[in-house]
Structure 1
């Protein structure tokens, strides 16, 4: 017959010391990460998310009375305070600070979660519920950490992409290739193939042609809606609407290296796209367009809201043309997606150059 479990008061001081020290470690690391989102990334949305997580942790740990934590604290006799490694004293770049503290947050939350499972009643009631809350917070930290890494990678890959041209597959492959070649020759850094009428085989054919020409010109080929076509043609990215596949499902199809963009029509949708792991967002519709019908146009005001709160690469979408580019860029957005205003122009190549010049002047 096994020995009965020791009463809570036997192991309580050690457990409370662990919870106290680890709670401090988690809160400190969360503050460092929050400050990185605030001052380095200048991202209001991610800053708010990390701050909310930090405050939720404080609320959850309020079950441990401050007096009890203080009574069990033995900092002067803690053997761990004198143990360190050389890497702890060195941070070569800002990203090293972020990486170290993201790991510290996640490790600390796991420690809190595990030791909160130890019964401490009547000193601390319902530790099982506390452990479950801490587990949920740990998973939230994974989501936020991934969003910050995606943000960094996306800025690296899209740094020079200020214009994305939206186009259909054309009636004939030859005319399609001529238009694509002219746009890339004009300096267009990304083309998104969006065609609701071509049969799948034709769409795959156009996608492969677009990808081949994009690689030749060191540009990006993005496929609208169809993650399967993007994967089959080895495109650089896929663009999803609000009613299309989720980012997570699309990622399973296209793999880790492919860009995923998401159309967003409200600030809440833009914020969710960040947490979902999108590489970039389309924001709009800004104005009525000839390719899509919308009942509501958020307009330039949505562009202002998004640029003030989100640092993920964002393209203004919807009815953008030479005549309103200045109004769009004055909202603070630095990327635009343009369709028929370029592809249906008498000289698409020349018009693309003019649009690029406008964008370049605005962000210089």
Structure 2
């Protein structure tokens, strides 16, 4: 490698430092503000791979090219550079700096090492994914912050007519209602989704449609919930737009980590117990719920499947953000009273702040 590229080494050194510093800012946010082990691991791996990509450049050349006292850029500042409204703003600024510095590394590495340039390019693409994951966490945490009771409504399981059931559970304190109708014709489903969404919004609750992003959009619902074999998060956002709530089912820590990286807003974690809505040959139990919650933190986790008032306490001990309840509420003689009983226990365990 030639030694007459002091200008290139100087640029590379400055941008390596800039990238390392931004990664550290991002990691501290994930570690201390979010307590997010999965995000911390993603950032740590980026730092490790950045170091590996830079090893092709002699350290002595990089250090010899450094001339901070005579760097004209250190004296140039803007009004917005020192203005940060809070920790979230600090994070966003660092996430924007990262791809900029990596792009500079990629371009200025090309005259010296095509291998390093390619490595910096791949790191930049990974940073775009990292930014998406952080944004999803911030968005999902905000939208789900006040959700404790999440009720699934399926007409065939309701003791009352479906819309009467929706009115009852909302009156009982449901914070989110998911319309789950797997076999209903699209036109009929759209009409029902419109009516459910109208009721949810009037009550200040979230309206979610199971599986059907197209129906959710047409009905003006807040979002969609999809399973592992349904539309991916990215496709849901293409249909619904960036502000929609997209939930994903997860049964394992690996599924949780994947959903987090994909930009899901929350996880439906289960099946915790056997349920009447799906016939399954397995459950994850409260231990599985706890494992997935730890892997997904701080992404909101909604415990789902087979949850009743009688088995609620061990579920709450596993620390979900909310619980999703179906038959134990909608098949009750008094869905409003049953929902209210759930909400009372949920607020006692996880008060709104």
Q: Shift of the alpha carbon at 1:171?
A: 9.6
Alignment match, 2:99: 106
Q: Shift of the alpha carbon at 1:86?
A: 3.6
Partner of 1:323: helix, strand, or coil?
Answer: coil
The answer for unaligned runs of 5 or more in structure 1 is: 1-6, 121-126
Kindly indicate whether residue 215 of structure 2 is the aligned counterpart of residue 229 of structure 1.
yes
Would the aligned equivalents of 1:169 and 1:203 in 2 still touch at CA under 8 Å?
A: no
Would the aligned equivalents of 2:157 and 2:327 in 1 still touch at CA under 8 Å?
A: no
Partner deviation per Cα, 1:46-67 (whole Å, 9 max, x = no partner): 1111111111101111111212
Q: Shift of the alpha carbon at 1:249?
A: 1.0
Kindly indicate whether residue 173 of structure 2 is the aligned counterpart of residue 187 of structure 1.
yes
Q: Distance in 2 between matches of 1:87 and 1:231?
A: 37
Kindly indicate whether residue 52 of structure 2 is the aligned counterpart of residue 52 of structure 1.
no
- What's the RMSD between the two structures over aligned residues? 1.8
Q: Distance in 2 between matches of 1:169 and 1:139?
A: 44
Please identify, of 74-83 and 309-318, the stretch whose mean Cα deviation from structure 2 is larger.
74-83
TM-score (norm 2): 0.94
Higher relative contact order (CA 8 A, sep 6+): 2
Would the aligned equivalents of 1:169 and 1:198 in 2 still touch at CA under 8 Å?
A: no
Q: Shift of the alpha carbon at 1:9?
A: 5.0
Partner of 1:63: helix, strand, or coil?
Answer: coil
Kindly indicate whether residue 68 of structure 2 is the aligned counterpart of residue 82 of structure 1.
no
Alignment match, 2:304: 317
Kindly indicate whether residue 2 of structure 2 is the aligned counterpart of residue 15 of structure 1.
no
Kindly indicate whether residue 27 of structure 2 is the aligned counterpart of residue 34 of structure 1.
yes
TM-score (norm 1): 0.91
Partner of 1:222: helix, strand, or coil?
Answer: strand
Kindly indicate whether residue 349 of structure 2 is the aligned counterpart of residue 362 of structure 1.
yes
State how 1:168-317 maps to structure 2 within 5 Å. 168-170=154-156, 175-309=161-295, 310-317=297-304
Which of 133, 145, 149 lines up with 1:159 in the alignment? Answer: 145
Would the aligned equivalents of 2:133 and 2:260 in 1 still touch at CA under 8 Å?
A: yes
Would the aligned equivalents of 1:239 and 1:260 in 2 still touch at CA under 8 Å?
A: yes
Q: Distance in 1 between matches of 2:274 and 2:156?
A: 23
Change (3 A) 1:216 1:92: closer
Partner deviation per Cα, 1:25-51 (whole Å, 9 max, x = no partner): 100110111001100111111111111
Q: Distance in 2 between matches of 1:160 and 1:293?
A: 31
State how 1:58-73 maps to structure 2 within 5 Å. 58-73=51-66
Partner deviation per Cα, 1:110-152 (whole Å, 9 max, x = no partner): 100111112x3xxxxxx11211111111111111112112211
Alignment match, 1:353: 340
| Greater Rg by CA | 1
Q: Shift of the alpha carbon at 1:273?
A: 0.7
Q: Distance in 1 between matches of 2:208 and 2:27?
A: 33
Change (3 A) 1:228 1:87: closer
Would the aligned equivalents of 1:150 and 1:278 in 2 still touch at CA under 8 Å?
A: yes
Would the aligned equivalents of 2:3 and 2:61 in 1 still touch at CA under 8 Å?
A: no
Partner deviation per Cα, 1:291-340 (whole Å, 9 max, x = no partner): 11222222111221233331111100111110111000101213110111
Partner of 1:289: helix, strand, or coil?
Answer: coil
Q: How many residues align?
A: 349
Partner of 1:297: helix, strand, or coil?
Answer: coil
Q: Distance in 2 between matches of 1:253 and 1:59?
A: 39
